Each structure stands twice: as structure tokens, then as C-alpha cells.
Chains A and B, each alone.
Chain A
Amino acid sequence: GAVVSQHPSWVICKSGTSVKIECRSLDFQATTMFWYRQFPKQSLMLMATSNEGSKATYEQGVEKDKFLINHASLTLSTLTVTSAHPEDSSFYICSARGPGSSGPGSYNEQFFGPGTRLTVL
């Protein structure tokens, strides 16, 4: 249990276009989802935290107008990179956490998606 998927797994786009990345919890209700970016050979940096039905909380330095996050349902969150530029090229990883204290999707653990590699030309 506790599977998180991301789509697409990779995407190449032209500079100036927008790209949407989906994150889905397949077998549990994700009350909270997290979005990270990871540059090559570096660690994960939290971009934002989203709770279902409310606005995302962005980390300092992350442009909320550039990285639009929507968490409209308990199983889906989306990250839209607007007007993408080459410096936005990165590996984007989502994770999800459920409301329970144990079992699949429990509050005590984040379950990670497989990541989406974005390349902006």
C-alpha cells in the first residue's frame, strides 16, 4: 500500500511554455502533499506544502506565481511551472501523507513519487 505516482515521468519543453506535473496517491487519501525539487547530485529542497482544499504554503525563496500548486482532491495535487526557463530544469518529486496514525499513508510517514524530470530548452 501507500503508492504515489507522478505523471509525466519526464518532459521536455520550450522556454516560455507552462508544464503541469501531476502527483497522485493511489491507495490512500493524501491530506497533505509536498513538492520538492532536486538538482543533479544534490539533496531535495522542499518547495511547498499543500493541504487538500487550501492554498499551498511555499518555502522562502520559492515564487508562488511561478510554481502553481493545486490540491483540489484527496488523491491529486498538481504543480504547474509557468513560463518555464532553462534554470527551472530539475527533478521534481512529490510526496504524500495521510491523516491516519498508522497503516498506509499514515501521518508519520511521507510516501514519495518516482519523480518528474523537467528539461527546458
Chain B
Amino acid sequence: AQSVTQLGSHVSVSEGALVLLRCNYSSSVPPYLFWYVQYPNQGLQLLLKYTSAATLVKGINGFEAEFKKSETSFHLTKPSAHMSDAAEYFCAVRKAAGNKLTFGGGTRVLVKP
């Protein structure tokens, strides 16, 4: 079985400050890992994904994440928050050869001016 834990259901950052969203996973086999963003009343948009290539993954909108196998983590960062980054962020895991995505509980980001 696989699972995802996102530490912190809410994160508040000042505009221009570092955004750090934590994600830890458990998986019995090598995983694929994803970060999605969801704006109110919308579906999910893929920010980035790790599929066993480079451990540092760069995504859209200035986000990046680093896969650390020893820590079973896939934390999402952005050096400088923008007001438009206010949204809900979901980390998800999938077996490399599997079918299902398992989502974390989500982290809501609030950006203060």
C-alpha cells in the first residue's frame, strides 16, 4: 500500500518569501510522485512530477521539488511567493507501473501582501 502525508494543512507566507510545502510518502515499490495545484472550484493542474529520472524536478510557475529517497520526501518549494500562488496544493504518489494516484490531504497556501 502507498500513502502520502502532507505536513501542515495551512501555510501562510508573505509575498516574496520562500514557499515550502512538505510531503512524505510511503511506498513498497519505487514511486512516481506528483504535485498538483487546485484553484477554487477548479480541477487539478500538474505542477511537476518525479518519474525516476533527475531527483530535482523543476515545474511550472517557478516551483521545484526534490526527491529524497532516504527521507521518503518530495517537498515542494518556490523561492519567492506571488499572490497568484494562493491555492490548494496536493502531493500524490503512484506506483511506477501502477494505475492509481493516492493523494495527500492537501495544503492550503495563503499569501500575504
Q: Which residues of A contact B (CB under 8 A)?
A: 4, 6, 32, 34, 41-46, 49, 91, 93, 95, 108-115, 117
> Given A43-B105, A46-B100: A113 and B43 within 8 A (CB)?
yes
Kindly identify which residue among B99, B103, B106 contacts A32, using a CB–CB cutoff of 8 Å: B99
Residues in A whose Cβ lies below 8 Å from that of B106: 42-43
Residues in A whose Cβ lies below 8 Å from that of B32: 108
* 4 A-B pairs with the lowest CB-CB distances in the bound complex, closest first: A112-B43, A112-B44, A114-B43, A43-B103
What is the total of A-B residue contacts with beta carbons within 8 Å?
46
Q: B42–A115 contact, CB under 8 A?
A: yes
Q: B46–A109 contact, CB under 8 A?
A: yes
Q: B49–A109 contact, CB under 8 A?
A: yes
A-B contact pairs, 13 of them (CB 8 A): A4-B43, A34-B100, A42-B105, A43-B104, A43-B105, A44-B44, A46-B100, A95-B44, A95-B101, A108-B32, A109-B34, A109-B46, A109-B49
Kindly identify which residue among B41, B101, B102, B104 contacts A110, using a CB–CB cutoff of 8 Å: B101
Residues in A whose Cβ lies below 8 Å from that of B90: 43-44
- Asked if B14 CB lies within 8 Å of chain A CBs, one says no
A20 to B105, CA, bound (A): 27
A4 to B45, CA, bound (A): 11
Q: B41–A115 contact, CB under 8 A?
A: yes
B53, chain A: closest CB distance, angstroms: 11
Q: A115–B101 contact, CB under 8 A?
A: no
Interface residues of B in 35-79 (CB under 8 A from A): 36, 41-46, 49, 51
Kindly identify which residue among A49, A113, A115 contacts B100, using a CB–CB cutoff of 8 Å: A49
Extra pairs beyond A34-B101, A43-B104 (9, CB < 8 Å): A42-B105, A46-B101, A49-B99, A49-B100, A93-B43, A95-B101, A109-B49, A113-B43, A114-B42
